């Protein structure tokens, strides 16, 4: 995946409309809840099986990206950048915020493979790597907005959007940022979606 397509795709994805809560009160929306995001089973890098909406997403603040361990283009750079983001967010990750990376090649990326990948990059606690059945992962990819309007590009994992979805699920606050933004800029993007009352 070249950088030009990466940033063009990220800019396009950022234009997708998202719902925001009014006056801090969440409202039920058509693209919301288990009916939209589904409870497909996913496996974590430590071998646990979880239901996607109920166990991973519901009531959480999430940073979500798609990747695959054999990717030799953007994924390694994005993972390194997100590790730095995790360091900057500190104890907020795992407590206030959950980081999620979902494999685009679940047939290869078993929990054991993902665990080794996470260890290689120095991933800390509070960051889940998820795999599952191919059809289920494809459903999640589309429901979470990680798809390209060009079906040829969309079918090629090497052309996948190198972006991070920032989700405040309880408040219906959503954003999308390129995963290669500076970690400091990503922290600012997170803080726009996650109100901090201090």
**79-101 residue pLDDT tens:** 999 999 999 999 999 988 999 99
What integer pLDDT is reported at residue 144 of this predicted model?
92
Q: Give the CATH number for residue 161.
A: 3.40.30.10
Contact 186, 164 (CB under 8 A): yes
What integer pLDDT is reported at residue 27 of this predicted model?
56
Domain count for the chain, please give it. 1
- pTM (predicted TM-score): 0.81
Half-sphere exposure of 60 (CA within 13 A, CB side): 21
- Whether residue 159 is contained in a domain is answered as yes
Q: Is the pLDDT of residue 116 over 60?
A: yes
Q: Is the pLDDT of residue 154 over 70?
A: no
- Whether residue 62 is contained in a domain is answered as yes
Q: What region, left, alpha or beta, does residue 9 occupy, with left being phi > 0 and alpha being psi -120 to 50 degrees? A: alpha
Parent domain of 104? 3-193
Q: Is the pLDDT of residue 123 over 60?
A: yes
- Whether residue 77 is contained in a domain is answered as yes
- Whether residue 93 is contained in a domain is answered as yes
Q: Which pair of tokens denotes residue 153?
A: 């590009």
What integer pLDDT is reported at residue 149 of this predicted model?
76
Distance, in Å, from the CA atom of 182 to the CA atom of 49, rounded to the nearest integer, reads: 33
Spell out a b/e string for 17-27, using b for 16 or more CB atoms within 10 Å of the CB, else e: ebeeeeeeebe
Distance, in Å, from the CA atom of 104 to the CA atom of 98, rounded to the nearest integer, reads: 19
Select from 131, 143, 135 the least CA-distant residue to 50: 131
From residue 134, alpha-carbon distances to 77, 101, 160 in Å are 24, 15, 15
pLDDT digits (tens, 9 = 90+) for 8-28: 444 444 433 343 333 444 555
- Give Cβ neighbours of residue 148 (< 8 Å, ≥ 6 apart): 9, 154, 159, 161
Contact 60, 90 (CB under 8 A): no
- Whether residue 180 is contained in a domain is answered as yes
- Averaged pLDDT for residues 107-121: 97
Helix (H, G, I), strand (E, B) or coil at 116: helix
- Whether residue 183 is contained in a domain is answered as yes
What integer pLDDT is reported at residue 161 of this predicted model?
67
- Whether residue 24 is contained in a domain is answered as yes
- Whether residue 198 is contained in a domain is answered as no
Q: Which pair of tokens denotes residue 156?
A: 């090629």
């Amino acid at each position: 995946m070249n950088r030009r397509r990466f940033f063009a795709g990220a800019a396009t994805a950022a234009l997708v409309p998202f719902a925001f809560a009014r006056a801090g009160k969440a409202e039920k929306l058509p693209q919301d809840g288990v009916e939209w995001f589904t409870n497909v089973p996913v496996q974590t890098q430590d071998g646990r099986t979880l239901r996607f909406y109920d166990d991973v997403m519901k009531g959480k603040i999430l940073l979500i990206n798609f990747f695959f361990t054999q990717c030799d283009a953007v994924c390694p750079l994005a993972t390194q950048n997100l590790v730095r983001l995790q360091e900057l967010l500190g104890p907020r990750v795992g407590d206030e915020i959950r980081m999620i990376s979902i494999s685009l090649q679940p047939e290869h990326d078993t929990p054991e493979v993902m665990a080794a990948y996470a260890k290689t990059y120095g991933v800390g606690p509070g960051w889940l790597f998820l795999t599952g059945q191919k059809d289920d992962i494809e459903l999640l990819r589309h429901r979470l907005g990680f798809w390209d309007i060009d079906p040829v590009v969309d079918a090629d994992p090497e052309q996948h959007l190198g972006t991070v979805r920032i989700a405040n699920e309880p408040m219906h606050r959503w954003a999308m940022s390129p995963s290669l933004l500076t970690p400091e800029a990503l922290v600012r993007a997170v803080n726009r979606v996650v109100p901090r009352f201090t």
